[in-house]
Structures are given as structure tokens and as C-alpha cells.
């Protein structure tokens, strides 16, 4: 069977050239704006969400490509942050459900997509279809700021 993964995968997994490590802890990146931070993680509200409230939680502190490689303290701290983010999203957006997706094969650094699901979304009881992502619109600056404020307030 022929290898399908990039030749650079092992180096990426080891942290060589890791974009998440290199960026530090920015308030904003090309994908989103940070609304949550603690000693283990940052959460970013996506600027072009496929679903209202869609956020990504990124592990911070050191390069870890897979949750199985966390120390006990990192495991507890990171997943506690993910839970805190999900709880705030529930309070602000009242989704029917939230999907927590940790797909570290695209970016070899632990991060979790926190994807709210609503009773009117286009993929009930399955993954959100690709069209939902392709058809996502960028939030207007005022709307982005308003949502960030509501999420931050929900943390208190």
C-alpha cells in the first residue's frame, strides 16, 4: 500500500515548523478572535463560522500533537478549558447539541473544534455537511464584537 500522508508528517508531529507553537498566543489570527484564555488553552470565535458560536480551542504551553501525550495536569487543564468554552456557548447560543472534534491530523497540534448544532441545521444526527462550511459568511465587525462580548460575559 502506498503512503498517502505527506513526507513531512513525522517532522510536523514532532513540532518542526508548528504554526500553533510559532504564533504564540495571539488575540486574533486569520481564522478567529480569542475570547477565552487560561494557562492551558485559548479559544477563538471563528470569523466565518459554519454555525453560530463555532469556536476552536487550542492547547498552549508546549507542542503536543495528540491528547494521549498530555501529562495528567495538561489533560485535566485542557479538557476543563474545552468544557468551559462549551458551557459558555450553551449559555449564549442555546444550541441543541455541541460537537467536539479533535482532528489533529490536519494540524499536528492539539486543538478542538467546538461546533454548536441547531435544530434547523443541514445535517441532523450526522457531521455538518461540507456545504455548511462552504456557504459560511464572515461576521460583520460589529456582530463579531457583540458575540465576543456575550461569550466573555458568559464566562463570569
Return the minimum-mean-pLDDT range out of 46-55, 122-131, 142-151: 122-131
For 75-135, give the DSSP string. HHHHHHHHHHHHHHHHHHH--SEEEEE--TTTSSS-EEEEEEE-TT-S-TTSPPPHHHHHT
Name the pTM for this structure.
0.95
**What was the pLDDT predicted at 123?**
85
**Distance in angstroms (rounded) separating the CA atoms of residues 90 and 68:** 27
**Distance in angstroms (rounded) separating the CA atoms of residues 94 and 63:** 33
Dihedral (Cα; 76, 80, 81, 84), 10-degree rounding: 180
pLDDT digit string, tens, across residues 51-74: 999 999 999 999 999 999 999 999
**Distance in angstroms (rounded) separating the CA atoms of residues 82 and 151:** 14
Domains of the chain: 42-154 (3.30.428.10)
Return the minimum-mean-pLDDT range out of 77-81, 131-135, 137-141: 131-135
pLDDT digit string, tens, across residues 24-44: 999 999 999 999 999 999 999
Amino acid at each position: 500500500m502506498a503512503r498517502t500522508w505527506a513526507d513531512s508528517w513525522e517532522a510536523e508531529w514532532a513540532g518542526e515548523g508548528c504554526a500553533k507553537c510559532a504564533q504564540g498566543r495571539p488575540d486574533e489570527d486569520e481564522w478567529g478572535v480569542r475570547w477565552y484564555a487560561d494557562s492551558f488553552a485559548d479559544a477563538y470565535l471563528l470569523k466565518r463560522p459554519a454555525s453560530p458560536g463555532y469556536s476552536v480551542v487550542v492547547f498552549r504551553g508546549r507542542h503536543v500533537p495528540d491528547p494521549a501525550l498530555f501529562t495528567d495536569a495538561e489533560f485535566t487543564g485542557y479538557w476543563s478549558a474545552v468544557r468551559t468554552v462549551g458551557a459558555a456557548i450553551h449559555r449564549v447560543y442555546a444550541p441543541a447539541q455541541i460537537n467536539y472534534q479533535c482532528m489533529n491530523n490536519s494540524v499536528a497540534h492539539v486543538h478542538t473544534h467546538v461546533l454548536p448544532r441547531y435544530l434547523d441545521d443541514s445535517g441532523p444526527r450526522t457531521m455538518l455537511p461540507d456545504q455548511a462550511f462552504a456557504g459560511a459568511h464572515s461576521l460583520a465587525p460589529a456582530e463579531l464584537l457583540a458575540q465576543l462580548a456575550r461569550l466573555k460575559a458568559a464566562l463570569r
